[in-house]
Amino acid sequence: MSGLSLTPVVIAQLYREACRFDVIVFKPGNVSCEAAGHGMQAADFLTSAAVSASVLTQLGGGVGERLLGAVRATRAAVGCNTNLGILLLVAPLVLAALAPTNEPALRQRLRVVLSDLSVADAEFAYVAIREAAPAGLGEAPAQSVYARPTVDLRAAMALAAARDLIARQYGNDYSAVFELGLAALRASRAAGGSLAQAVSAVYLTFLTSFPDSHVARKHGVAAATALCERAQRLGWSGPADPHSPAFRAKLRHLDRELKAAGINPGTSADLTVASFFACQLSDALSDRAAALSSLSQGRGPVVLGRVSPSVHG
């Protein structure tokens, strides 16, 4: 097996699909096709995905450069920050999928990308964060985003890991994505849930597992903790929960309440997108590995084209 990788076209397609489900699925507190909020519409997120896809998946450039280009493309198209958290999470995954290595496992490929992050990546990322201007962005005691970094991006993220769940993923090889998000996605599909139900299960998994970093940054840790505890009291029984009409009514009530208070569990949503994207990339790499193995053994080409069959059924 040689040169196992995905093409920019395939990765861009999977990225746009993950972002599309971000707004197709109803997630309390977040913008969706069903419920706008926080001064944004679902169309803003779809446009953001469309304009950032080619920048993220271009050949050449590191994580930081891709991140900055995608943030600028988004800003130019929609005039606000719709996707910084998503971009911070997916940029390393994109580079991992593009890498022409013999390793079929996405998380192993990701570990290499994260270990190779540079000071230049941090410089680009700092500019991207400042230009995206996320709500509640404050000053840090060391390696502030308002100053020039002197450490690589992974080390810079480690300094923010205690207060930001997205930053924490850079240090633990995306533990929340691979061990919680993907597990919830596959468990829901295995239980017969639709793709939308599976994505909802991922979101609820994050919402009930962690105080949301975006809520904590904007409204305080107490508010984020209270939201997590409130979500736990909804009565959700896990990824196999089929979502009864009564439970869906609870979700819609929570959505109205959160949006009235200006509370947006954005980190939970960003991790949901990253989990779906990672699942699709993992399955596409598995397909590619199977095709290359078949050719090397003289069995002829394997027909490709499945998009995350373990998710789509």
pLDDT digits (tens, 9 = 90+) for 206-223: 999 999 999 999 999 999
Question: 308 near 280, Cβ under 8 Å?
Answer: yes
The CA-CA-CA angle for residues 230, 44, 86, to 5°, reads 60
* Residues 31-72: tens digit of each pLDDT: 989 888 888 899 999 999 999 999 999 988 999 999 999 999
So what's the pLDDT on residue 130? 93
The secondary structure of 219-238, three-state, reads HCHHHHHHHHHHHHCCCCCC
Band of pLDDT at residue 313, cut at 50, 70 and 90:
very low
Question: Which DSSP symbol is given to 272?
Answer: H
For residues 255 and 237, what is the distance between their CA atoms, to the nearest angstrom? 19
Nearest residue to 308 (alpha-carbon basis) of 186, 165, 206, 153: 186
Residue 2 has pLDDT above 60, yes or no: no
Residue 88: enclosing H or E segment and its boundaries? Answer: helix 84-98
Question: 273 near 89, Cβ under 8 Å?
Answer: yes
Band of pLDDT at residue 141, cut at 50, 70 and 90:
low
Nearest residue to 82 (alpha-carbon basis) of 55, 50, 54: 50
Say what the pTM is. Answer: 0.91
